[in-house]
Amino acid sequence: MSGPAQSRSAGYRARVDRRSVDDLAFAARGRLDRVDPADLAAEQEAGALVVDIRPLEQRQRDGDLPGAVVIDRNVLEWRLDPASSHRIPATDYERRIVVVCNEGFASSLAAATLQELGLRKATDLTGGYQAWRAGQDGAVTV
């Protein structure tokens, strides 16, 4: 490649910091008010939109998350951006959004991206679905 395209490409590479995905997750989590699995029901009762981004295979294997809206990760931003023509009706800039993945890693990155779209109350579930499920398995009913 030569000419202007090469110059733009080389200039872009020079500006990009090299960080690991762990670095990105750590930075994302620093901006999030993460939800403890034991508090998820209270968040839902308070009006939070809980969004399950786990792949179909994981949902089939492990089960559904009660009350959650399922949105595939690859379309999450388009479905939740209030300015998008592809948004779901339940989204709003002021609404609390709790993103849930399998173990709480992908959801941190997703929630941070939603905050960049102006959804400042977006966050995720610490430990993801697996932590929530473990809490349910150990729940004591009276």
Residue-wise pLDDT tens digits, 77-97: 999 999 999 999 999 999 999
Could you report the per-residue pLDDT of 27-56, keeping only the tens digit for each?
Answer: 888 899 999 999 999 999 999 999 999 999
Task: Give CA separation, 59 vs 22, 53, 134, in Å.
Answer: 25, 9, 15
pTM for this predicted structure: 0.83
User: 111: burial class by Cβ within 10 Å (0-12, 13-18, 19+)?
Assistant: buried
The pLDDT, as a whole number, for residue 107 is 97
Q: For residues 52 and 130, what is the distance between their CA atoms, to the nearest angstrom?
A: 12
What separation, in Å, do the N-terminal and C-terminal C-alpha atoms of the chain show? Answer: 69
Q: Are the beta carbons of 59 and 52 closer than 8 angstroms?
A: yes
- Which structural domains are found in the chain, ordered by start? 19-137 (3.40.250.10)
pLDDT at 141: 43
